[in-house]
Amino acid sequence: MAFENLSEKISAAFKKLKSKGKLTEADVKDSMREVRLALLEADVNYKIAKDFTNRVVERAVGAKVMESLTPAQMVIKIVNEELISLMGEERNQLTFSSKPPTVILLCGLQGSGKTTHAAKLALKLKKQGHRPMLVACDVYRPAAIKQLEVLGSQIGVYVFEKGSISPLDIANSSISYAKDYGYDVVIVDTAGRLHVDEELMDEIKNLKNALNPQEILLVVDAMTGQDAVSVAKSFNDLLDISGVILTKLDGDTRGGSALSVKAVTGKPIKFIGTGEKLENLEDFHPDRMASRILGMGDVLTLIEDATANFNEQEAMKMAEKIKKNSFTLDDLKDQMMQIKKMGPLKSILTKLPGVDKQLKDVDIDDKVIDRMYSIILSMTMKEREKPSIIDYSRKKRIAAGSGMKLEDVNKLLKQFEQMQKLMKKFGSKGSRGMFGFKMPKFFG
């Protein structure tokens, strides 16, 4: 996951501070030297890393901090505040035109995930009640138009295309079409560049002038580190972008671009790509990202993900079942599918405070949900409602029907039994938490 090493090294530096009762100026400077090295290893721009730690030292060596009862905690608080400031203080939302359609122009280098993120953005806006339309203006890359059409059909969003004619003509025609057919957002997917190519840059500049877009979003691959920041600066100088979509933050990336883009371009990160699925596009919240970097989790994003994927009435029914201790394997099957919609298990769990460090070397297999699901599907309704009737011969039939081993069936039944015991405890206390059991152990 992004920032894993950075988070680990910053935590190690803070651990040394916490081990000391009273702090000296030398202690603070030593820990910030370690933080600066960690930032540089994460591919943060050298000047930004240096300025960042200098600001922290300047604020931290004041009498108010050094003489407080918990000086180490005060230093951590300052680091958290400075991280938020570095990434943009607050969330920057999309702006919409008072006179539809709102035009969003996407740009970026080839391979940054621009076409996929055009579809991700369209899906996100569709869920928010908008009627988006995708426009295929990448007429150079083979199969780019087809790719956008396939993605559009997957999310139920219309794709406007006119083949390989001039992108400027396509874009102009798309606006007229959107007005005629009531599309309130037009997302224009432009040609990616292998580098900052002068001819293609002129083309996108012409598109900007013709469309007068409400938003110009640059799609940047977080895996490219400081190159991503250089690209952002080049595009911003030419187009005056309104924001950035940072992709592949779920991968093994150092994440330095997320900490450098705002400082270098003055433009905010508006969205982050956190997975391969079309649902995996998150609003960028600087405060929540700072919290993740400092190992404090991101419970707010987890709650938002759960709210978006869980039906409130169903959740209330489930809470009542837990309270009455009538939760069945069929209910577990439904809950597993809801959890799967929220994304990879490790990604979900690492948003819980403190869990990220516990899971650092734990391999969580996402297919475990599919395996459990197929085992439950191979049971009769009576068996799902009353697992105690499942004897050896039934287990053999269930294992054969699901393509699993007998031990897999035994493991699921044992885990469900433990889960029911835990739910009985939580139910008696009136708990409604969907994460009432130890998830890392359960999905082990």
pLDDT tens for each residue of 215-271: 999 998 877 767 777 888 888 988 999 999 988 876 655 667 778 888 888 888 999
Tokens standing for 308?
């978006």
Kindly indicate the confidence band of residue 441, based on its pLDDT and cuts at 50, 70 and 90. very low
Q: Please tell me the predicted confidence (pLDDT) of residue 339.
A: 74
Kindly indicate the confidence band of residue 345, based on its pLDDT and cuts at 50, 70 and 90. low
Q: Is the pLDDT of residue 1 over 60?
A: no
Better-predicted residue by pLDDT, 318 or 403: 403
Q: What is the mean pLDDT of the chain?
A: 81
Matching residue, tokens 């403190």: 354
Q: Please tell me the predicted confidence (pLDDT) of residue 40.
A: 87
Kindly indicate the confidence band of residue 310, based on its pLDDT and cuts at 50, 70 and 90. low
Q: Please tell me the predicted confidence (pLDDT) of residue 174.
A: 95
Which range scores top for mean pLDDT: 3-7, 17-21, 234-238, 334-338? 234-238
Q: Is the pLDDT of residue 444 over 50?
A: no
Q: Is the pLDDT of residue 39 over 70?
A: yes
**Which range among 40-54, 99-113, 251-265, 277-291 shows the weakest confidence by mean pLDDT?**
251-265
Kindly indicate the confidence band of residue 347, based on its pLDDT and cuts at 50, 70 and 90. low
**Which range among 77-81, 138-142, 288-292, 420-424 shows the weakest confidence by mean pLDDT?**
420-424
Which range scores top for mean pLDDT: 179-183, 267-271, 283-287, 301-305? 179-183
Q: Please tell me the predicted confidence (pLDDT) of residue 150.
A: 96
CATH of domain 102-301: 3.40.50.300
**Which range among 305-309, 359-363, 365-369, 429-433 shows the weakest confidence by mean pLDDT?**
429-433
Cβ–Cβ contacts within 10 Å for residue 291, how many?
21
- CATH code matching the domain that covers 314-442, chosen among 1.10.10.60, 3.10.350.10, 3.30.420.40, 1.10.260.30: 1.10.260.30
Average pLDDT over residues 367-371: 83
Q: Please tell me the predicted confidence (pLDDT) of residue 177.
A: 96
Q: Please tell me the predicted confidence (pLDDT) of residue 50.
A: 92
Does the pTM surpass 0.75? The reply is no
Better-predicted residue by pLDDT, 138 or 299: 138
Q: Please tell me the predicted confidence (pLDDT) of residue 154.
A: 96
Q: What angle do the packed helices 198-211 and 226-239 form, to 10 degrees?
A: 50
Q: SS3 of 273, please?
A: strand
**Which range among 148-162, 202-216, 254-268 shows the weakest confidence by mean pLDDT?**
254-268
Q: Please tell me the predicted confidence (pLDDT) of residue 195.
A: 64
Classify residue 156 by its DSSP letter. Answer: T
**Which range among 82-96, 98-112, 227-241, 296-310 shows the weakest confidence by mean pLDDT?**
296-310
Q: Is the pLDDT of residue 352 over 70?
A: no
**Which range among 52-56, 65-69, 74-78, 364-368 shows the weakest confidence by mean pLDDT?**
65-69
Q: Please tell me the predicted confidence (pLDDT) of residue 378.
A: 94
For the chain, give the percent of residues with pLDDT over 90. Answer: 34
Q: What sign results for the dihedral spanned by CA atoms 7, 13, 15, 17?
A: negative
Domain 4-87: homologous superfamily in CATH:
SRP54, nucleotide-binding domain (1.20.120.140)
Domains of the chain by residue range = 4-87, 102-301, 314-442
